[in-house]
Amino acid sequence: MTTRRSFFAAGAAGLLGAARAARAATTGYPYAEFEQRIARKDFRGMTKDVLPTPCMVVDIDLFEKNLKTMAASAKASPILLRPHVKVHKSVDVARRQTALGAIGVTTATIAESELMSGSGIQGVLWTKQPASMNNLMRAISLTKRDPTFMFVIDDPLVASQVEEAAAAASVKCRVAVAVYAGLTRQGIANGKPAVDLARKIHASKHIALEGFMAYSGTASHTHGFAARRRKSAEDLAGVQETVALARKAGLPTGIVSGGSTGTYNMDHELGLTELECGSYVFMDSNYKKVGGKSNDEIYTDFENAMSVLVTVDSKQHPGQVTIDYGNKAMIQVTDQVKGMPWLQVERQGAEYGILRWKDGGNEIKVGDRLEIYCSNLDMSTNCYDRYYIAKGDRIVDVWPIMGRTGAAQR
Ligand SMILES: Cc1ncc(COP(=O)(O)O)c(C=O)c1O
């Protein structure tokens, strides 16, 4: 781990000085053409120094390493991979995941499902049931456009509504029963209630039962590998029982979906056929704290591949600087400054945050740029509209984020 002492002994002041020199060299960048250049993917001369802040920057090498690590682990387990897109909300990321063997993607909203499917990604699994008429009718028309689309149901009432709407539209919806796996937000009780619902769905003329979905959200962030495995086993025990009962009853059990970045290397032993991991693509500071198989303090399986680039806006008081990363940009006190973990991140206002230190931060100057690892990817990516893709300091691409800005969110 980088300490204050080792960081400054390694010449941090020099690094910051180099950043200032780089900034001076970018005065010639044609800022007025910034958006036009992005539109035509002309990234000549575009470095991190010329970017507007705060913005999201992806380290392409670390990102690709994370994707390959997960793909290789799934292959070796073996278990299928249908990664969750809620953390990145990016078609470009999803395409790279499927290119490495993912069988589709998992989504949190009907809008995410429409975006992914509309971009040609097959095998979208939406993990919420269509409870509103709006969502139901959209799920029906998405099924019509894309017969590989699937969604979940945890309530017999919704199953009846889906059957009725699907019959009226002459489509056959593909559905997995969402069962309880330790998270009280969704999932019908395991055992008889789940099997009865599966039976009802299987008997519906316009719904094809695909299997089960069981997301163990509390296991994912349980600290320490052994404790996490115990928790996941506990949460999935009822699910395994349900699947066995369904199988015995002759019901389809082809899909048993669940899992997370925290449990990706244990759930293949606990009855899942496919994983819905999401955060591994970029990782966030909360996930880094859960500990892994080889290190109980820090989760080293995946790298922090995405950071929020910020600018130091003001330095008028001892022991602190002001940055242009505030509440609107999803600043959290649990965020971490890349390479300078001793800096405390504090919220200040809509457009401002504070970095505070007891000692060893005084070298930071107005105009310096720092990178911050956000605490929760889902929340943060929702506030931004693009990823700047970086190879070292050079920007080599820009990928849109669905965020909340696009009509597709509605
Ligand atoms: C339904 C569902 N599946 C899987 C995940 C796993 O995601 P992660 O790998 O980011 O923990 C989530 C995350 O919130 C989820 O909501």
Number of other residues whose CB lies within 10 A of the CB of residue 350: 10
133 token code pair:
């008429």
Residues 230, 276, single domain; the answer is: yes
* 264, part of any domain: yes
pLDDT per residue as tens digits for the range 322-345? 999 999 999 999 999 999 999 999
Residue with the smallest CA separation from ligand 1 atom 6 is 260
Instruction: Note down the domain range covering 335.
Output: 4-60+300-409
Total domain count for the chain? 2
Average model confidence (pLDDT) for the chain? Answer: 93
| Stronger pLDDT, 28 or 400, i.e. the higher one | 400
Final residue before a domain boundary, out of 236, 262, 288: 288
State in Å: Cα 278 to ligand 1 middle. Answer: 6
* 336, part of any domain: yes
Residues 36, 96, single domain; the answer is: no
Sorted by sequence, the CB contacts under 8 Å of residue 12 that are 6+ apart come out as 339, 340, 363
Say yes or no to pLDDT of 271 above 50. yes
What's the alpha-carbon Rg for the chain, to the nearest Å? 23
Residues 382, 276, single domain; the answer is: no
Q: How far apart are CA 243 and CA 337, in angstroms?
A: 44
Alpha carbon 242 to chain centroid distance?
28
- CATH number of the domain residue 83 falls in: 3.20.20.10
Q: How far apart are CA 125 and CA 105, in angstroms?
A: 6
Final residue before a domain boundary, out of 288, 320, 346: 288
258 token code pair:
């669940």
DSSP strand E in 18-85: where? 55-59, 80-81
pLDDT per residue as tens digits for the range 357-396? 998 788 999 999 999 999 999 899 989 999 999 999 999 9
Residues 195, 326, single domain; the answer is: no
Residues 69, 56, single domain; the answer is: no
Which residue, 361, 327, 340, 293, is CA-closest to 69?
Answer: 293
- CATH number of the domain residue 316 falls in: 2.40.37.20
Residues 118, 215, single domain; the answer is: yes
**Residues with a CB atom less than 6 Å from ligand 1:** 84, 87, 106, 127, 215, 217, 220, 260-262, 276-279
Q: How far apart are CA 173 and CA 139, in angstroms?
A: 8
Q: Give the atom of ligand 1 at the shortest distance from the alpha carbon of 277.
A: 9
* 395, part of any domain: yes
CB 251 within 8 A of CB 202: yes
In sign, the C-alpha dihedral spanning 106, 110, 112, 116 is positive
Residues 80, 31, single domain; the answer is: no
Q: What is the DSSP string of 1-16?
A: ---HHHHHHTTHHHHH
Residues 189, 262, single domain; the answer is: yes
Q: How far apart are CA 273 and CA 278, in angstroms?
A: 16
By mean pLDDT, which of 24-38, 118-132, 160-174, 297-311 is the weakest? 24-38
Residues 54, 200, single domain; the answer is: no
Q: How far apart are CA 48 and CA 331, in angstroms?
A: 20
CB 19 within 8 A of CB 369: yes
Residue with the smallest CA separation from ligand 1 atom 2 is 215
User: Cα dihedral angle (278, 283, 286, 287), rounded to 10 degrees?
Assistant: 70
State in Å: Cα 260 to ligand 1 middle. Answer: 5
pLDDT per residue as tens digits for the range 90-138? 999 999 999 999 999 999 999 999 999 999 999 999 999 999 999 999 9
For residue 219, give the amino acid letter: A
* 275, part of any domain: yes
What region, left, alpha or beta, does residue 45 occupy, with left being phi > 0 and alpha being psi -120 to 50 degrees?
left
- In which band, very low, low, confident or very high, does the pLDDT at 295 lie, cut at 50, 70 and 90? confident
Q: Give the atom of ligand 1 at the shortest distance from the alpha carbon of 221.
A: 11
